[in-house]
Structure 1
Amino acid sequence: MTVQLSGRLQAIADLVTCRAVLADVGTDHAHLPVWLCETGKIKSAIAMDVRKGPLLRAETSVRLAGLEDRIQLRLSDGLEQLRAGEADSIVIAGMGGILIRTILQKCPDRAASAKELILGPQSDPDQVRRQAQNLHFRIDREDFIREDGKYYPLIHLIPGEEEAAYAEEELFFGPCLLRDRNPVLKEYLLRRMRTTGQILEGLKKHSTESSRRRAEELGKEKRLLEAALNRYEM
């Protein structure tokens, strides 16, 4: 084995179910496709990145693993250099949710042709879940990882329609995570609740228009956090 996965990448690898071709968007060092090929979990991979530097690092990883015949490297802005139907699994992780949403919006035919999407937004996960619905994918599984003091939601999607519309707190924090009462998510929610409460208390000392708007935003966030935490009491 030539690579060791971080906890976050291992959790992503655990969500891969299709054993054929995987496309890794924003591959960086290509550790994920290398590990998946070395362990026999996939047959081949297409490792893509928008920058040449990460692709050079990926090339080194692939060469050291002796996987040049199984992992293709492509300079690609999102999914642009992937053909529709070319990959069974598509991983887009390690970037913000708005960027992931944009990648899916720009190449909907490529995304919709996959058998599974594994998405790891580092912010704005609600935007990713909304866009997945637009592509007629449904959330099959989710995970929530804490690594080096940061939290990472992971979303596994398969083609199909959701049986019911998501509640607002489900879009933000994950329907499967809330249903399963994920303990790491609960830790995150409690932490966010404390921080939000402290900021709201501080804003009470100010009467500017900007502080009022900020208090309104945080009030909405607090209500979402409360709704999510209530799921743990049901």
Structure 2
Amino acid sequence: MLRQINNSQKKREANNFGKLLLVILLLNINIMIAQDKNTNSNNLNAHQQSMAGIAAFSAVGNMQQLKTELNTGLDSGLTINEIKEALVQLYAYCGFPRSLNAINAFMEVLEKRKADGITDLQGREASPIKAVNDQYRVGKETLQKLTGREEKEPKTGANAFAPVIDVFLKEHLFAAIFSRDVLNYRQREFVTISILAAMSGVEPQLQAHISMGLNTGITENQIIELSTIIEKKIGKEQAEIVKSLLKKVIQNNKNN
């Protein structure tokens, strides 16, 4: 009888121990899932990876690789209008020739895909922009949101030396383009960083836009991952510049 009681007690203890192990295992799984979600939130998704390649190859004028990247982007779910917005924005950073060439390449890709029976998502059009008399003020306010700093007078540097460039930047880029809501500020800054990361000799502008990108919600890890994409598609030297400038921006933010 005593032996039966002991065996029964041992079974209950074993069952309780098994349940405890199961609870611990489930807790560990939940922790791992939560950590994975947090990690993924800092990683570039398929849309961002494709957009980085599209912007980079457009900026350097590699049309053959661009067409491959455009197909990849469309296959990943990027809409036609999202890609068009990025290619139009391109003109502000590397000129109309690169922008127009990229748009023409995109047209060829779409025609080929249509002929192959592929239907791509058009995506939504930009909302109508309210007419304002002072586009310069709109652009100035947008830039202040991106930088997180109030722009003070008098103007300095290039804006003081050639005031009209300041007008064009505010009215054309940060008002006319950035007011179009097909892409939000974070997406536009990501496109800009990708463009500048692929180009040589634009380190001051790239550093400024990495800072703006962080202000719009792009993470440090995403910039690092972007540098990996740039290394693979453009070259190691350009990737190292991205990482070096990111460190400078982080250090400047700590000092301010």
> Do the structures match in fold with TM over 0.5?
no
TM-score under structure 2 length normalisation: 0.32
Larger Rg: 2
- Which structure carries more helix by proportion? 2
Higher relative contact order (CA 8 A, sep 6+): 2
